[in-house]
Chain A
Amino acid sequence: MSHTETEIPTPKTNPTQEPEVLKAERSNLGMLRPDHNKSVIIDWLTTVDHKKIGIMYGAIALFFLLVGGLEALIIRTQLAVPENDLISAQRYNQLFTMHGTTMIFLAVMPLNAAFFNFLVPLQIGARDVAFPRINSLSLWTFVAGAIVINFGWLLQALEVMGLFEAKGATAGMTDLVPAGGWFGYAPLTSTDFSGAGTDFWIMGLQILGIASLSASMNFIVTIINMRAPGMKMMRLPVFTWMTLVTSLLIVFAFPAITVALGQLMFDRVWNTNFFNVAGGGQPILWQHLFWIFGHPEVYILVLPAMGMISEVLPTFSKKPLFGYSIVVFSGAVIGFLGFAVWSHHMFTTGLGKVATAAFSLLTMAIAVPTGVKIFNWVGTLWGGRVRFSAPMIFALGFVWMFMMGGFSGIMHAAAPADAQQQDSYFVIAHFHYVIMGGIFLALVSGIYYWMPKVFGKMWVGNLSTWVAVLVVVGLNVTFFPMHFLGLLGMPRRTHTYLEGFGWETYNMVCTIGAYVLAVGILLLLVDMVRCIRKGTPAGNDPWNARTLEWSTTSPPQAYNFAKTPVIPARDALWEHKYGPENRRITYEEDHGHGVHMPSQSWMPLIASIGFIPLGLGMSMMQAGVPFMGYVAIFGLVVVCVGLALWALEGPGGYHLHPEEG
């Protein structure tokens, strides 16, 4: 290994000179692999490129952000005035359930996954993730789960038009969309109280779980095994660190909900007694199992956001992150403690004094590493040369808004206080501050920061200022009054309320805020489209950034790095640009070997598509739709055939020879 070159090798982009034409090879099964395909659609459907997969995750997540947002607007419109009858109570239940489920599982988690996919291999100097085909499976399985969980809307529309009626085990039930809340408490989800909607919810979440688990395991292996030479763990960018912690949380937290959903399915399909009170089942068991998953889940949502902020703040303060190792360590502590606080969602169920006190203390304890991070971020700003570019504005918004959510969190960490706040709008205010004010702002900051890398285009104009104003004003106007509503006793999840409790004005204000917020989000999308359409070339490093992904081209070539970088320090690119001679990034000589690329494949797509009939068949069987058992079996067969062919076709692969300029 000779590390001679110190110039960053950028591949020549010479449009006049066509690169050598690569031909697809045959797989071990004798079929032509879909490599180098002329059709753009086939290319994207079969891609194993983490960057394309990331872009698709992002696009689909943004679509579901709009769907979830639309659901929220309908909810807020219904609540704008007392005794409104815009929608029925049943439709209201469906809307808040699907709003929560969509936002958490179909918008925020996949948007995080989009960033994991695009950034992690670039940040660690890898060619791709460890298992490119599993990565493709994760994406398409996520799409399958999203379809299954939303399929109820179609069935419900048919029911409203009088074209469908539930028979079988849930005969006469008219709720065909999930309606038990995002945490689906037993026994509301039993066949006595809910129809096919719950079945779609169970199957959809199970399929999404498969997607999340496979993606997480893939990322852990990638981060541990695929780092470029010299990229020691304590040199990893913080975003990559938080990806690692988040993935570990998913690996260890999801099994609890997988089992719980399985038990619920058994209860519904085979009349078992897990949560069935008549047979001795205990609904409280569901709450425990759900929140053992559910609390880690909120950290699964927020840790990537914290990682993004830890990248943006140093770049725009022109300073290294204050206390890198402490930020990493507190992230890990949060992940660990996250498993020990689930019962703070159950203070009012009568856990007993000792348990309540213990969970109360642990919940307060988890605020400590969270607070430590906030101090680190403030410390990063302190004395820095702050540039108020768009990513920075949103990052600063995150620190402030997230803190507000943390404060109300601490408030109901005290069990006696929580007895007043539980199931009221106060809790809604809390988690919307952490999720919208926190995670969402961080994601927008990430979008503004990394879009130039993703598409190679720089933002035009300063629409971002308007987005920032509208979003921050909108979310405060929407969610701040909810604190008061909660303390005034307005319960969450009621489809309407009477006049005279003093809730009218607050509700009206919340609704107006929601529309402001919606305009802000639409403007964000407009800005993104403008950037892609009209943006000027961004260059490798438009922000004068610190981490490795900015050392390659924007957008990065399929192979990421023409030569494997050798990393001498943390903040590798920054040190390369401004550090001493011995901290330069060097590049491994490849001796004409070229870059090994993985082959594209149909198999992950085929296996994932099988999950759709499997999920839909299992769900609609209960509602007495004919032949659904066969449809489910067909789906299972497709999944198995896809996986078998996958194993047999072999990984393949070909070599690219990037020319250097």
Chain B
Amino acid sequence: MSNTADHADSHSSLVVDNKKLLMWLFLGSDCMFFGTLISTHLIYRKLYPDSFEPTTLFSLELTSFSTFILLMSSFLMALAVSAMHKGQLKSFRRNTLGVIFFGLIFLGCQVYEFAHFVHEDLTLQTNTFGSTFYMMTGTHGVHVAIGIFWLICMYFYSHTGKMDAHESAVDVEVAGLYWHFVDIVWIVIFTAVYLVEFIPEI
């Protein structure tokens, strides 16, 4: 964005850029946020082990696929950040579009999954499993959607010619931090909510 503010915050012991530090703090807070949602889910899952059998519903193939897609989107995001740092606007745009596309695939998979589950009679109201599952994964989905929206804005902004090398590189990096975090949260959910259900009983 504009560089008028450059020297505003100049003095002092800048270790991490202001915006980046702000994002790190937000992510720290968000960690607690998802931590609470995931633990709520696991607590109820443990409390009522027999009320519901998720393995009959979960499709490991589909979710593994969407997880892989999200991981790859993180890879592209890293490429976009590095392109921006080098000032390669074209490469930045290409990679950003890739992230957006992969993110949309992930969301599509989630929508499909939700629709399928609802069709199989698991709704928000069915039992505690439904409530916690939808709220947790739904909140994650909203995070992904916000990330996609953010990147779309950046993509269009990159066409206005107002991007300047240094400041915009930081902005893209901040968006990148967010995207990677959302990805990591999904890895945790995928492991703790999906994968462990398939561990055979000993």
Contacts and interface: CB of A to CB of B under 8 A. Distances in A.
Nearest to A292: B36
Given A217-B25, A262-B135, A271 B125 contact: yes
Contact of B18 (A131, A289, A650): A131
Contact of B32 (A231, A255, A653): A255
Interface in A143-201: none
B88 interface: no
A626 interface: no
B47 interface: yes
Interface string A453-494: 000000000000000000000000000000000000000000
B125 A130 contact: no
A579 interface: no
B11 A280 contact: no
A175 B36 CA distance: 30
A227 B12 CA distance: 5
Contacts of A254: 29
A420 B4 CA distance: 63
A190 B11 CA distance: 52
B36 A130 contact: no
Interface in B93-131: 124-125, 127-128, 130-131
B11 A229 contact: yes
B68 interface: no
Given A225-B9, A252-B29, A280-B51, A289 B36 contact: yes
B1 interface: yes
A647 B157 CA distance: 11
Interface string B31-72: 011011100100110011001000000000000000000000
Nearest to A259: B36
A466 B144 CA distance: 58
Interface residues of A, number: 51
A127 interface: yes
A281 B28 CA distance: 28
A266 B11 contact: no
B40 A263 contact: yes
A317 interface: no
A640 B179 CA distance: 20
A285 B135 contact: no
A109 interface: no
Contacts of B22: 130-131, 217-218, 221
A653 B8 contact: yes
B12 A272 contact: no
B48 to A, nearest CB: 6
Contacts of B132: 274
B143 to A, nearest CB: 13
A258 interface: yes
Given A255-B32, A256-B32, A266 B131 contact: yes
B26 interface: yes
A569 interface: no
Contact of B4 (A221, A251, A259, A652): A652
B30 interface: yes
B16 A225 contact: yes
B32 A252 contact: yes
Interface in A80-111: none
B15 interface: yes
Nearest to B136: A259
Contacts of A251: 25, 28-29
B155 to A, nearest CB: 14
Contacts of B13: 225, 227, 229
Q: Which of B1, B29, B44 is packed against the most chain A CB atoms within 10 Å?
A: B29
Contacts of A42: none
Given A258-B33, A650-B2, A130 B124 contact: no
B193 to A, nearest CB: 16
A253 B33 CA distance: 9
Contacts of B130: 272-273
Nearest to B28: A251
B5 A651 contact: yes
Contact of A650 (B4, B12, B43, B51): B4
Contacts of B153: 647
Nearest to B36: A259
Nearest to A216: B25
B14 interface: yes
A263 B30 CA distance: 16
Contacts of B159: none
Contacts of B8: 127, 596, 598, 651, 653
A226 B12 contact: yes
A598 B8 CA distance: 8
B4 A266 contact: no
Interface string A54-75: 0000000000000000000000
Interface string B136-179: 00000000000000000100000000100000000000000000
Q: Which of B11, B13, B124 is packed against the most chain A CB atoms within 10 Å?
A: B11
B18 A279 contact: no
Q: Which of A126, A213, A221, A650 is packed against the most chain B CB atoms within 10 Å?
A: A221
B12 A225 contact: yes
B10 to A, nearest CB: 8
Contacts of B43: 285
Contacts of B37: 259
Nearest to B8: A596
Nearest to B131: A272
Contacts of B47: 280, 282
A225 B15 contact: yes
Contacts of A227: 12-13
B25 A221 contact: yes
Given A130-B18, A131-B22, A650-B4, A281 B128 contact: yes
13 contacts: A131-B22, A225-B21, A252-B29, A252-B32, A254-B29, A263-B135, A272-B124, A272-B130, A274-B40, A274-B132, A650-B1, A652-B5, A653-B8
9 closest A-B pairs (Cβ-Cβ)?
A255-B33, A255-B32, A272-B131, A650-B2, A259-B36, A651-B5, A596-B8, A217-B25, A273-B131
Given A279-B125, A564-B11, 4 more contacts: A220-B21, A226-B11, A258-B33, A651-B5
Interface of B: 1-2, 4-5, 7-9, 11-16, 18, 21-22, 25-26, 28-30, 32-33, 35-37, 40, 43-44, 47-48, 51, 124-125, 127-128, 130-132, 135, 153, 162
Interface of A: 28, 126-127, 130-131, 213, 217-218, 220-221, 224-229, 231, 251-256, 258-260, 262-263, 266, 270-274, 279-282, 285, 289, 292, 564, 588, 593, 596, 598, 647, 650-653
